[in-house]
Structure 1
Amino acid sequence: MSLIKQKKKILLVIIAVIAVSAIILSFALKKDDAIATINGKAITKDDLYNEMVKQYGSETVDQLIANKIVASEATKQKITVSESDVNKQIEKLQESYGGEEAFNSALESNNTTLSAVKEDMKNYLTIKKLLEPEIEITEEEMKTYFEENKDSFAQAEQIKASHILVADEKTAKEVKQMLENGGDFPALAKEYSTDDSTKDQGGELGYFSKGDMVTEFDNAAFSLPVNQISDPVKTEYGYHIIKVEAKKEAKEANYDDSKAEIKEQLLEQKIDTEYTTWLEEKKKDYDIKNTLAEV
């Protein structure tokens, strides 16, 4: 599993924990208020709270206890996680979701916020710093991992491009003419593009490989020289004006070039498997009482 995919898995866990915790805590107040009725009989916040506690309460409190232990151990070892560290991981998560807009939609659909995810990412990075000194990764492990996952370390040909998407050919030709007359591509993208996910960034699509886009777009983009602008390209989405900004040649997998990434991926895997054991050992040093565990 790649680092980005691993982090995406972590985000899903974070979202689940935050969502459940928020529900349980929100219904802890004014529990006797009715939230629904059926044939005049009320279903109260107290009813819902009790049901949520039965299903998720103990697990959620266990997570909160774990977070407190992690924070305490970090303080003992003078471990800190900077805002910059957190933001770098959030950027990788956004990339794994296909951009900031898709990432924010995932947060919204799961009733959580960016600030809440950042807090839990900070907790995860703290765990990583606590466990990393105790984890050994050998050269043999790294070479074996490389051989078993060689395809993932190869780099396909990639291009970096921007586009302006419009609904009809007439508008596309008008935009192309404006560009030929010296018009600014990002400014015209903001004004004319119907692609809401990229227009405010000047139509930027970032780097992508062949096969990531629809066939007509791919064929046009990969045939363009750098800094050239295409004629209108018709796809199922409308008409595109494409500008290629940079290219990366295909590269075969190389162990020496990939060592840092391999080590990071193995570290992520080992943290995932060893965290539970580490936490259970640390719990022995704390006086812990979880009354929900007895319900």
Structure 2
Amino acid sequence: MTIPTLAGVPAFAPTVPRFARLFVGALALTLATTAPLAAQDKDPVVATVNGTAIRQSDLAAAEEEAGQLPPMSENAKKDYLVQFLADAILITKAAEDKKLADDAAFKRKLEFARQKLLMESLLSQVAKDASTDAAMRAVYDDAVTKIPAEEEVKAAHILIRAAAGDEKASKAAEDKIKAVIARLNKGEDFAKVAGEVTEDPSGKANGGDLGYFTKEQMVPEFATVAFSLDKGKISAPVKTQFGWHVIKVEDKRTKPKPSFEDVKPQVEQFVARKAQAEFVTKLRADAKIEKNYKVEEPKADAPAAPAAPKQ
């Protein structure tokens, strides 16, 4: 089931420069030294850098920031992350010594990073609050009712390949598939014969089983015959771009609709993004946004200039 997308939803997570994120992390480490003792007891110090504590909880944040890590033992990963945080603290201190924190451009970047973190936190909460089981099931139920009924066929086939345009090879392949059909009409097991003669590699292992499919999933010549056959029947020779086939229809059914659990991740994402988009839209509607510039209307497509003559 395809959950409809929301056109025009803004990108809520612009990339923050890595330096700014490191600075925010290092600042958090500094502030952590003033946390209540009870909380610190549950979050042991794993290292110190010139007196600044690095706690166990800081390692998880560092691992997320560091991204995909190469395979290593837990102790090696801990040491890597501690060094990662230590570098952030040392670089931050060196930057403070140079008074970079007082620079106006840096303050703007820091404020942007702060805004981004607050924005992400609030939108995450909006998404979480909206993604109730009831809301998701309502979206699912509505989407399921709009899925049209579609017929599926479960079939197996045996293929004798023939290169397109090679009439001699095609005639030889047709004769072979006719001989196969003669064997089947005498009562031989379809799966056994498929394992012996089919030239479809997967068919040798599974008896030619194609599982359930809709008309659109097969080439037209194959689909037309498969969907016209009654359950349990075997086709006459069928020619497609791949060669010659014999088809056995094993079952027909209306395609089952996906269960809620099958599509829950897509439904949850849709509900969350919809809630975020509506939240932002309301904020915009209630705000007074003044722009000190004009947006030019797009011009009608002008006729293309003639190509310059080749020299």
TM-score (norm 1): 0.42
The structure richer in helix per residue is 1
Structure ID, larger Rg? 2
TM-score (norm 2): 0.40
